[in-house]
Amino acid sequence: MTFARIAGTGGYLPERVLTNKDLEKMVETTDEWIQERSGIKRRHIAADNETTSDMAVAAGRKAIEAAGIETGAIDLIIVATTTPDKVFPSTACIVQRRLDIAKTPAFDVHAACSGFLYALDIANRFIVTGGATNALVIGSETYSRILDWTDRSTCVLFGDGAGAVVLSTSDEAGIISTHIHSEGKHEELLHVPAGISSGYADVQREAAFIQMKGNEVFKKAVNTLGSIARETLEGNNLSQKDLTWLVPHQANLRIIKAAAKKLGMPMERVIVTVDEHANTSSASVPLALDVAVRDGRIKRGDMLLFEAFGAGFTWGSALVRY
């Protein structure tokens, strides 16, 4: 039987850093409020000419290098993003061209903050069924372009960045199980109201930016992350004690803490980057993974639980032997 394992990770954060103090000059907010309600201290913001594919390529290159393979060995590219460079072609096709990879399947996955978990699920299925041997799976987002920088309730929460993994065939299960779900009835609690088919060019200015009923999203996120963690562990006859690290979506430190508490996971075994990155949507889990792999916390053989929750609502998890 063929399995998939994470052969390498990579990450990229734009050079420009925007602190809470900087935001105090832009909207009526305080460093204290932002830290207390979200745990965020700073976020990275793409340069004016920097795009989602720029960041995806940078993170992808690092993941390929870490996997110790040639770029030409990649035979599947999936980019999770809700902020693509263009309506078409897909960001994955742009990444493929820029990495000079020939004729592999390349496509985008759109599942908001759960996008990376969806992409990982799909890439894993390709590998175990013999459809790919080295898949480049990237989460990359430029949320700074869909934020209303006059709306203090949303603009303080997000950042830009990209994270990537190379999934390769293996005799042993690296990706042990993946779990993805959606519940579209919550569409209006967290959305960008305008889209291509609903007249993007003619919309009111505010409809082109993120709108969120933060309180309601918060409650749903905590409960859903609790249930997906249970589903994943019970499905594998494991308990929290079998996990080395929880690598959660980085939306809000209070959500991360509440979800960890529901799982019985001490915060010392939870990877937290929300303070430095803010919410980078589908980039957040692979970026957090890459940070912890590179600083030596996550080691080969560790048992990891990834989990994410986002607009849709969508949510997902993966149990991974790194």
The least CB distance from residue 152 to ligand ACO, in Å, is 4
Which stretch in 5-13, 215-223, 228-236, 283-291 sits in contact with ligand ACO by CB under 6 A?
A: 215-223
CB of 44 to ligand ACO, least distance (A): 17
125 counts as binding ligand ACO under rule CB under 6 A: no
Ordered DSSP codes for 71-121: GGG--EEEEE-SS-SSSSS-HHHHHHHHHT--S--EEEE--GGGHHHHHHH
| Residue 249 is among the residues annotated as catalytic for this protein | yes
Q: How many residues bind ligand ACO (CB under 6 A)?
A: 23
Element housing 274 (H / E):
helix 274-277
Instruction: Determine the interface stretch with ligand ACO among 90-98, 125-133, 149-157, 174-182 (rule: CB under 6 A).
Output: 149-157
DSSP 162-229: EEEEEEEEESS-SEEEEEEEE-GGGGGGEE----TTTTGGGS-GGGGS-EE-HHHHHHHHHHHHHHHH
Which lies closer to ligand ACO via its Cβ, residue 180 or residue 190? 190
The stretch among 5-13, 30-38, 91-99, 225-233 that binds ligand ACO (CB under 6 A) is 30-38
Which residues 235-254 are close enough to bind ligand ACO by CB under 6 A? 251-252
Q: Compute the distance between CA of residue 233 and CA of residue 242 in angstroms, rounded to an integer.
A: 9
Per-residue binding string, ligand ACO, 37-76, x by CB under 6 A, is xx--------------------------------------
Select which of 20, 93, 113, 134 is catalytic.
Answer: 113
Q: Are 222 and 255 in contact (CB under 8 A)?
A: yes
